[in-house]
Amino acid sequence: MHPSDAPAIREISVTDKGAGPYGIATGPDGALWLTFAHSGRIARLTPDGRLDEYPLESSQCSPTVIAPGPDGALWFTRSQDHRIGRVTADGETGSFPVPTRDSGPFGITAGPDGALWFTEMNTDRIGRITCKGEITEFVLPCTGACPSAITAGPDGALWFTLNQANAIGRITVHGDIVIHPLPTAGAAPVGITSDGTALWFVEIAAGQIGRISVDGAIREFPLPDRTAKPHAIVAASTGNCWFTEWGANRIGHITDGGEIAEYSLPSPSSEPHGITVGPDGALWAALETGGIARWEP
């Protein structure tokens, strides 16, 4: 990408460093929704800069990934008190305990079946929660796998990363599971997204971006800096993905052909985590040091 085509990244301070902005998603209300992992709060940010915060009943619950649900609310995981949270557009919050103790829920996404699907990092399970709070759990055929991020695929199934099993998993809405091992050992995949045709994921330990087709064929693309620690990824369109480089303080872009471009964030050591396409069509990323980054490709 030519330097003149480089997006101008703007940072917006939204909280103090101790709050820890982590997950970010666009809600059906035309606002951005954030998790403050270190302070137990959910925040709503409008594109024009208005910020509202909603404290949860536990400041230590560690809200992590957040996603819009089919009911018009936002749903999020609480990795430290092992609950699934829900917040309405006007800030009413609630939560539901995961049946398996100490499950460590992390990733969450709306499924094609009108429910939310989530990962349980500590107990090798994938969970499904209805909008009424009814939870079903599916046991994975591996132990110590650390299922992490999850997304709805273009094939009507859910796809997820297995951080410690070095694999990508697929589960149907009926609970049928297939595991696809990665070619690179110790890659430690985390974020995953669908571009409408294939699934894209990041390998935080290997410094690579991966692509898996619905038939299980995998391609891997090494980053220029293999120590960049890519963390989260979002598809803006088919074959057009953006990702955060948590270890290198950068935002990256990859095309379907594997062309990679990287852009440094204005503030040093800002720790970019979650990333989403905003209601205004721009890209937004949560910075754990207390800010939000916005740029228009």
How many CA within 13 A on the CB side of residue 64? 25
Residue 296 assigned as binding residue: no
Euclidean distance between CA atoms 59 and 37, whole angstroms: 9
Residue type for 12, please? I
Please give the full DSSP string across 11-23, using - where no structure is assigned: EEE-S-TTT-EEE
Q: How far apart are CA 277 and CA 282, in angstroms?
A: 6
Token pair recorded at residue 7: 């997006």
What token pair was written down for 44? Answer: 């709503």
* 271 and 220 Cβ atoms separated by less than 8 Å: no
Strand order in the sheet with 230-237: 230-237, 240-245, 250-255, 260-264
Residue of 38, 82, 253, 273 marked catalytic: 273
What CA–CA distance (Å, rounded) separates 108 from 133? 14
Distance CA 284, CA 171 (A): 29
Instruction: From 83, 88, 87, 32, select the one nearest 62 (Cα to Cα).
Output: 83
- Give the up-direction half-sphere exposure of residue 176: CA atoms within 13 A in the CB hemisphere: 4
Type of residue numbered 193: T
Tell me: is residue 134 an annotated ligand-binding position.
no
Distances, alpha carbon 190 to alpha carbons 6, 79, 101, 162, 203, in Å:
26, 15, 23, 7, 6
Does 271 belong to an annotated binding site?
Answer: yes
Indicate if 273 belongs to the active site. Answer: yes
Sequence ranges of the binding site for substrate = 231
Positions annotated as catalytic residues are: 273
Sequence ranges of the binding site for Mg(2+) = 271, 288
Sequence ranges of the binding site = 231, 271, 288
